[in-house]
Structure 1
Amino acid sequence: MEPGVPAAEHQTFLKLIYKAERAISRLEQFWAVAARYAKRGYVFLGTATAAVVVIWLRT
């Protein structure tokens, strides 16, 4: 734990980090997102958005 950071704030920060790591892990289950197959940024953004929608609908 970092000096000067209260334990409660540290735990909250760790929870946010784990939540972000789990979200990225779920996104990486989609091959097109994990491999970043698209050459154009807007195509990749659309692919990532579609993957997020699918994950959202499954939960």
Structure 2
Amino acid sequence: MLNEDENTAVDIQDKELNEQLALINQLDEDEKNALIKMINSMLTKKRMKDLLDGKIRMVG
């Protein structure tokens, strides 16, 4: 699988995840963008939780 933005190879070991990504790629642009926003929101929430729990150290 190639990352379209950087044209670099992405190694995906998880077959189910690979299949899901293929299906996501078939969505229209609005649906893809909505899904990306949801994923980014979840990742940001996890990062903030980790930061507040002391799992991430702030530099500075």
Pick the TM interval, shorter chain.
Answer: 0.3 to 0.5
- Higher helix content, 1 or 2: 1
TM-score between the two structures when normalised by the length of structure 1: 0.47
Higher strand share: 2
Give the structure-2-normalised TM-score. 0.46
Relative contact order, higher structure (CA 8 A, sep 6+): 1
